[in-house]
Structure 1
Amino acid sequence: MDTPELSAAVVQRIVHHVYLSCVSDLGCKQHFCSPVAPCRLAVDFLGPFLTLKLVASLWNTAVKTYKLDAFFSNVEEGVYYPHSWHINTRVRKAVLLSRYRVFRTIQAEAAHHGVYVAYDFGGPQGCAGASEVVIKAWTFDSEPEIEYHHEIEAYKILQGCPGVPETFGTAEYEPLCDVHALPMQKLGPTLEELTSLLPQRRFDARMVLTVAIQMIERYRDIHVRGLIHSGTKPANICLASRGAGTPGMLYVIDFGFSLPVADNLPLPSAHRIDVVGNRRFMSVLAHHGISKSQRDDLESLGYLLSYLFHGELPWDIPRITRLRSFRGFTNGEEGQKQQQAQQQPQQDQPQVWRLKMATPGSKLFRGMDECFHEFWRDVKSLGYGEIPDYEKMRSRFAMCLEEHEKSCAPRGWWDVWDQFSK
């Protein structure tokens, strides 16, 4: 062995011992960062190790061959992500944007887009003062680039809008994970999660009225800023985080399908747009690709309010059929009927938009207060692009809620959550 090889081997051993010595002195119980992206506390302890990289070429060469992409602490137990191409795996390869460490998946239905909870250790206290944020991440391996740009642009326009989550900086590309990431304010559970806890999966009248009041306010503020949400559904409405400054506020999320308010009034665009959104809640015109205006968000809100009160919509598959299908009941006469229904050609089954058009407000809001029927009549009478009278709609719901609360004490969202999550 000649001298350079001997020197490199010696330096490699020294690198190893210096690194272990620095890591052993880390100043808090759990560090979410890594040597490649250390927090401020870790930088202090790794100072000698990192400084030598700048002044000694032999040391720098040895450090490059040393494995430094491992995290200091594990944050997920028993979780395995086998597919390297999947976004769930990508966001866990390294620290995102030099300060965010993903540790839980909220949603990743498609391999190219996901929502995650991450530790933010970029503050002055480093990992010792890490807070939790939400990270929305995208890959551009397929079609989500348009959705990504819609969402990014929407949050820029809506920054500071009440009931819209705050974003921290802008979306950036993280080369170590090959994803685009947008850090956002962490909120509480969604209305979908809250619904799953309730008896019969239904809101009571007071809860639905509260949702109506707040969502009219949310859509008023969003529309004033020139956007249509196009994403109304229980999973896209969140409670404020516990202990927040406005604990009773509901937040609107997911603006990947958002569109600018029509600028071609008084008529819809002659060009058909892509049909996007949840078909259970989207407006009738949205099913046909007709450009959207304010009334489309409010029509979707009407379907949402009906769903929250009844636990289902008139065009949903009957609940008993869903249960039988889920449990695999295929024996006897009921099983034969179910198999026949499954074999029925798709074109023979009623289309959702036809069922919506055939469903009167009296059926949609059966058993609900008169203010819901009045709201629906106002929405259905709106012209394309006509600015709704938000205050009139909101005040009717507010008066009705006051009547309900004369006999019952008001309850906060977290009170309801705590009551049924035990």
Structure 2
Amino acid sequence: MAPAPLHSLAVDDVERIVYHVYLSCISAKDFHSDNSDWTGRHFCSPSMPCRWAQNLLAPLLSLRLVDTTWNGAVKNFQTSQRETFFSPVEDGVYYPHKWHLNTRMRKALLLSRYRIFQTISCEDGKRGVFLAYDTGGAQGCAATARPVIIKAWVTDSDFEFQNEISAYHALVGASVACPGISIPQNHSSESAAYDEICDVYVLVLPQLGPTLQDLAARLPNQRFDAPMVLTVAIELIDRYRDIHARGIIHNGVKPANICMAPAGLESDSPSMLYVIDFGFASILENTGSSPLPSAHRIDTVGSRQYISVFAHHGISQSQRDDLESLAYLFSYLFHAKLPWDSSPTKLNGRASDRSQITPHIWRVKIATPASVLFRDMDDCFVEFWKDVKGLAYGEVPDYDKMKNRFVACLEKYNTTTPTATTDARCDWWNIWDNC
């Protein structure tokens, strides 16, 4: 008995046929035989298939040109909420609120190519950081699909959105490349793109290596040794010199915002460190040879553990404030804590928890001398501290002097006790793998 023509079948029957044909095409194991790691799964969607899926489905989709019933069934299937994606990438994830950023980000492929598979952070459902697969490359959804970082906002009026875009506009628009900065991969390279289906603004960034916070957690006693801290200092003096040269004040120094280079990246500098997260960044106004801080109080931004004393009081931040934060970072990496990370304070001679009384961190910062902040550390850190505290607002630091002091100190370790971590070009991935 001859099969019934398509136009004689019910629409539901045709949609069921379309569904099974789609799945049989997409689950084909041998469509990409040159890739031995192929899992046979597609992360893209019927309405936004990746390049390989599109090639597989071409014969199926061509029937839309000759049969209206088939054309309607394909359209219905592609727009069906029930079949948003071909394969799941997360287990047990449920976001019931449609307004929440987590829900929006998983509604469809972002910019027709990025599939979210993990939430890194999401504040109040209005802004967040996510891990996603990039299905828009030549390999499509193959096992080699490259993970990327996506920062997202529900509105373009978000102050972190504005700060981030302004910072990248200055960093990307510079005539000379700024090393150690994760450059956006959006179409415009320096601004976020708006996705109409998900109703979000997204900024796509390359995935970097682990952060200094991650590395510290793997080290004995969660502490960096002296040569490692010196290497961090040398690298970050260079990073912040370049950032400041473009009129950007980071305002975001902390171990979680300093990353190792991406795994497998061929680089002449295995000690390269990357600075990330410009959501709190500010632009240093070029008002002449003697810039002045704003006459109005500035909102305090950044991690309170690492921001400068001036930042605590709402005074405009400049180069000196980033460098003061670096000093706190160096102390933290060496000691695994800061003086203001102490146990709960005492009230009337009795211990109290932080819910009862919280000391003002800025008071402890002011009262902590360099001898305590850099206890058991090399003298070059105390000298660095003196230089930083002597800077005026907007004054350009002598970065070379600061860096050379750390280099000279590190060379002494190389001469006396050479180890894998005392090389001036210390390989962070080697340290990571051997922890």
| TM-score of the aligned structures, taking structure 1 as reference length | 0.87
Q: Secondary structure at the match of 2:340?
A: coil
Question: Which residue type is aligned with residue 362 of structure 1?
Answer: S
How many Å apart are 1:212 and its aligned residue? 0.7
- Of 177, 186, 202, the residue aligned with 2:207 is 186
2:412 matches 1:408: no
2:82 matches 1:59: no
For residues 264-317 of structure 1, give each alpha carbon's deviation from its aligned partner in whole angstroms, at most 9, with x where no partner exists. Answer: 443211122211111110011111111111111001111111111111111123
- Of 357, 369, 374, the residue aligned with 2:366 is 357
2:20 matches 1:22: no
How many Å apart are 1:53 and its aligned residue? 4.0
Any residues of structure 2 matched to 1:72-151 within 5 Å, and which?
72-128=86-142, 129-140=144-155, 145-151=158-164
Query: Which residue matches 1:376?
Result: 385
The 3 A distance-change label for structure 1 pair 365 and 122 is same
Question: Which residue type is aligned with residue 252 of structure 1?
Answer: V
Q: Is the 8 A contact 2:26 2:41 kept in 1?
A: no
Give the ranges of 4+ consecutive aligned residues of structure 1 lying more than 6 Å apart after TM superposition. Answer: none
Q: Is the 8 A contact 2:27 2:41 kept in 1?
A: no
Query: Which residue matches 2:251?
Result: 230
Separation (CA, whole Å) in 1 of partners of 2:335 and 2:157: 34
Separation (CA, whole Å) in 1 of partners of 2:17 and 2:259: 52
Q: Is the 8 A contact 1:112 1:144 kept in 2?
A: no
Q: Secondary structure at the match of 1:297?
A: helix
2:235 matches 1:220: no
Separation (CA, whole Å) in 2 of partners of 1:288 and 1:112: 27
Question: Which residue type is aligned with residue 133 of structure 1?
Answer: V
Query: Which residue matches 2:397?
Result: 388
2:260 matches 1:239: yes
For residues 300-350 of structure 1, give each alpha carbon's deviation from its aligned partner in whole angstroms, at most 9, with x where no partner exists. Answer: 1111111111111111232xx59xxxxxxxxxxxxx944x44564x4xx43
- Of 177, 194, 202, the residue aligned with 2:223 is 202
2:406 matches 1:397: yes
- Of 268, 285, 306, the residue aligned with 1:281 is 306
Separation (CA, whole Å) in 2 of partners of 1:217 and 1:231: 16
Q: Secondary structure at the match of 1:107?
A: strand
Separation (CA, whole Å) in 2 of partners of 1:54 and 1:139: 39
Q: Is the 8 A contact 2:231 2:271 kept in 1?
A: no
Gaps of 5+ in 2: 1-6, 33-39, 422-426
How many Å apart are 1:358 and its aligned residue? 1.5
2:434 matches 1:419: yes
How many Å apart are 1:106 and its aligned residue? 2.4
Query: Number of matched residues?
Result: 399
Greater mean alpha carbon deviation, residues 229-238 or residues 8-17 = 8-17
| TM-score of the aligned structures, taking structure 2 as reference length | 0.84
| Structure with greater proportional helix content | 1
How many Å apart are 1:17 and its aligned residue? 4.8
The 3 A distance-change label for structure 1 pair 55 and 158 is farther
Gaps of 5+ in 1: 323-335
Q: Is the 8 A contact 1:262 1:293 kept in 2?
A: no
Identity of aligned residues (%): 56
Separation (CA, whole Å) in 2 of partners of 1:173 and 1:341: 45
Question: Which residue type is aligned with residue 259 of structure 2?
Answer: C
Query: Which residue matches 2:183?
Result: 166
- Of 245, 267, 289, the residue aligned with 2:292 is 267
Separation (CA, whole Å) in 2 of partners of 1:73 and 1:14: 19
Query: Which residue matches 2:323?
Result: 298
